[in-house]
Structure 1
Amino acid sequence: MVQEYKSSDLDLFDKIDTSNPKDVFLKNKSKNQLMPDNHKSFNYSKKEILKFKNLEDSLTETKSRKEPQDFFNQIDIDDYSSFKNMYPHNINTNLNRKKLSVKRHVNEDGSYPSIDIHQNSKEKTEIFQGIYSEPKFLPGGDKYLLIEFGNVMNLELNFKAQGLSKLIEVANIKGIYETLPCFASMIVHYNPDDISYQDLVKELKLILQDMKENDDVVVTSRLFHFPTVYLDKWTKEAIEDYSTKIKQKQSDPEFIVELNNLDNVDHFVRVHSGTEYWVASLGFWPGLPFTMPLDPRCKLTAPKYNPPRTWTPKGTVGMGGSSTAIYPDRLPGGYQIFGRTPVPIWDPEKRFDVFKDSICLFRPGDRIKFNPCSYEEFEMIEKKIEDQSYKYDLIEDQKFSINKYKKWLKGLDYKKKF
């Protein structure tokens, strides 16, 4: 049905005279009376007029500034053939490319960095180094404090965040409700009535000093084994639906193979499933783990969808940047997808004992091992989940030493091909 204007509406529009401020206060036709004239005159002091003038000048100056320069455009993202050789499995430092490598400018969560070209050279140097010499403390409203350890995603920074979170719990500082470690930062939720922002920063700096003196951090970690159908029919359907309805794109596994200079999709499966994955943080949906490979030889990288998908199958395994995630439910998403697991990672009904303390399966510091499985095994596990007889394959509460992990890294054979 087409909406038509009533004649009274048209009369109303005709009677508006914006050149006369008093006519902006329209007549109320139902009451047939003029609304009160609130357009009163005010006398401002010279000091107030000067403040208005300075504000006007600052706004004019902001508008006249040039927009920050882009490091790359969308064509560079879509035409990845010029930068795919920069990925870990075929690094050649002598390559001479006309285009900038997108890997250099893609965050490991699959997003792109925001660089302010007006910053001074010292700040720019720090940006590209990635790890801050001293953590940054930033207020997050009146009840949260954000601590940044750097502006890149890597395990070293996440170890710091998780180590600090553990020590804060041990310190039992009055007023702190909880901490949430992430890849390169952590947020502290506190009660400002019990402890001020300034006092909280002082307490945290003392704990960080203790962390420096005690080089090793030991984190309690559980290891989960997840049966996973790689190159599955469900994610293939989601990719084809996206290509048909939203934007034509290459198959996600093939896209990852090309970006990382792997031999084929089978090689990709061997590399991706060849290591344990460290749960760095949880989000954007309850229980969704953001993970990083513990073996750097298995580190793969790929950008997110642009625009994202409208749906992703429950239990999908996907990758954005260098982070692998499991989708807890049927959700929108932007990670490149390539596998599916039947094992629930969040359970609001707490049907299984592993969820007795939380509806979310994982916690930061856990590890996940993706084990390739067949469709038959997938269906068998699904039936066990339906009748609640499934037993989670996990090793409870191991001690993960950061120092021992670093020593293990030094002994790796980087020539090994999975």
Structure 2
Amino acid sequence: MKTRYSYGGDEHIFVECDEEMSLEAFFKSLSMATAIKKAKIKGVTEICPANASMQVKFDPDVIKPADMLKELKAIEKAAAKAKPVIKSRIIEIPVLYNDPWTHETLMRFRERHQDPKSTDIEYTARINNLDGVDGFIKAHSGAPWFVSMVGFVAGLPFLYQMVDRKRQIQSPKYLRPRTDTPKLTVGHGGCFGCIYSVRGAGGYQMFGITPVPIYDPNQKIKHLKDFMCLFRPGDIVKWKPIDRAEYDATVAAVEKGKFNLKMKDVTFDLSEFKKDMDGYNAKLMGALNGR
């Protein structure tokens, strides 16, 4: 698809890299957003990257909309020549699948679900032809996920599974949104995973919960002292299945300021990834353990 530009009033330009999500579209959006930031164009006040698009806010008294559009098209042309390589981080996020809190919540809202007689994991496993709950957990945690954007509510990451399309987990949102979702729920809607950063309404399938806070506006939590939101676009998430004992121990460690988030700086090369996805993923996940 050819990149599509559209104006949003006098001070926004929306840039659509593709109509559907892919790592190629994400890389194009991210590389353009990075290039716009580095260019320091006078009048640009905000850059908001998304899954396969972005929006640029600017001051029309400083730069005219038509001139802003010319700048963006020039940046797109230059970004197309850049190698698809980014500096990233791989972060291990423990998950208690089938936890009691999301289970209690999903049971309260079964009349809003496609299959009121099963749980969200059981339903998603069945429609993806996975071998029950255990097969689902293996598929969900067996490969890393890209953080393609952060937003909707503060600190909430959208996650895109790093496997070929036919193996990506797909699951529709609830027929009608819930009025409640536990904080730190690991959810899924369409092809995207997420972590609910705060308690509130939601429509994604609920698979489990993580004991690791990802948003702290007061910045008192150890791994969130530098910035209130854990994730940024381009991060890579590795899910780690845990049991209730490890969940409780992690919650206690976080509260005491003794929890150490497992994270490693990595370089991600899209071209190399596409040559051998499983092999490349194994190297990324191995980096967490110094391999």
TM-score (norm: length of structure 1): 0.63
1:304 match: secondary structure: coil
Q: Quote the Cα distance in structure 2 between the aligned partners of 1:411 and 1:223.
A: 16
Candidates 141, 150, 160, aligned match of 1:282: 150
* Whole-Å separation in 2 of the counterparts to 1:306 and 1:399: 39
Whole-angstrom CA distance in 2 between matches of 1:336 and 1:300: 12
**The residue matched to 2:56 in structure 1 has which SS?**
strand
SS in 2 for 1:313: coil
Choose between structure 1 and 2 for higher RCO, CA contacts under 8 A separated by at least 6 residues.
Answer: 2
Q: Secondary structure at the match of 1:314?
A: coil
1:230 pairs, out of 97, 113, 117, with: 97
Give CA deviations for 1:228-284 in whole Å, capped at 9, x if unaligned: 11122211111111126x567231111101111112110000000011110001121
Higher strand share: 2
Pair 1:408–1:197, CA change in 2 (3 A): farther
Q: CA deviation at 1:321?
A: 0.4
Matches within 5 A, 1:6-405: 132=1, 134-214=2-82, 216-243=83-110, 249=116, 250-296=118-164, 298-396=167-265, 398-405=266-273
Quote the Cα distance in structure 2 between the aligned partners of 1:287 and 1:179. 16
**How has the CA–CA distance of structure 1 residues 212 and 269 changed in structure 2, closer, same or farther, with 3 Å as cutoff?**
same
Q: Contact conserved, 1:231 with 1:338, CA < 8 A, in 2?
A: yes
Distance 1:406 1:329, change over 3 A: same
Unaligned 5+ segments in structure 1 are: 1-131, 413-418
The SS at the match of 2:80 is helix
Q: Matched residue of 1:158: which SS?
A: helix
- Cα distance per residue 1:334-379 (max 9 Å; x no partner): 0111111010000011013533443111110111111000100000
Q: Which residue of 2 aligns with 1:123?
A: none
Counterpart amino acid of residue 148 in structure 2: A
Query: In the alignment, residue 339 of structure 1 is paired with which amino acid?
Result: G
For 1:194 and 1:403, the matched residues in 2 are separated by 39
SS at match of 1:213: coil
Percent identity of the aligned residues?
A: 38
Output the CA distance in 2 between the equivalents of 1:365 and 1:242. 34
- Report the CA distance shift for 1:328/1:410 in structure 2 as closer, same or farther (over 3 A): closer
Residue segments in structure 2 that go unaligned for 5+ positions in a row: 281-291
| 3-state SS of paired residue (1:334) | coil
Q: Distance in 1 between matches of 2:262 and 2:22?
A: 27
Q: Is the 8 A contact 1:282 1:364 kept in 2?
A: yes
Distance across 1 between alignment mates of 2:163 and 2:90: 15
User: Which amino acid letter does the alignment assign opposite residue 213 of structure 1?
Assistant: K
Where 1:227 maps in the other structure, the secondary structure is strand
Give the drift of 1:333: 0.5
Work out whether residues 272 and 298 of structure 1, in 8 Å CA contact, stay in contact via their aligned partners in 2.
no
CA RMSD of aligned residues (A): 1.8
Mapped to 2, the partners of 1:291 and 1:410 lie a distance apart of 18
Structure 1 position 173, deviation (Å) = 1.3
Any idea what SS the aligned residue of 1:150 has? coil
Change (3 A) 1:207 1:409: same
Q: Aligned partners of 2:167 and 2:258: how far apart in 1? A: 34
What is the alpha-carbon distance in structure 2 between the residues aligned to residue 387 and residue 212 of structure 1?
47
In structure 2, distance between residues paired with 1:191 and 1:353:
37
Residues 85 and 268, structure 2, Cα contact 8 Å, conserved in 1: yes
Count of aligned pairs between the two proteins: 277
What letter matches 1:153 in structure 2?
M
State the distance in 1 between where 2:244 and 2:279 align.
37
The answer on whether the counterparts of 2:147 and 2:160 sit within 8 Å (CA) in structure 1 is: yes
- Report how far residue 298 of structure 1 moved: 4.5
Secondary structure of the corresponding residue to residue 224 of structure 1: strand
TM-superposition CA deviations, 1:29-79 (whole Å, max 9, x none)? xxxxxxxxxxxxxxxxxxxxxxxxxxxxxxxxxxxxxxxxxxxxxxxxxxx
CA distance in 2, matches of 1:408, 1:194: 47
Rate the CA distance shift 1:410–1:278 in 2: closer, same or farther, 3 A: closer
How far apart are the structure 2 equivalents of 1:287 and 1:384? 21
CA distance in 1, matches of 2:220, 2:65: 41
Question: In the alignment, is the contact (CA less than 8 A) between 2:223 and 2:260 conserved in 1?
Answer: no
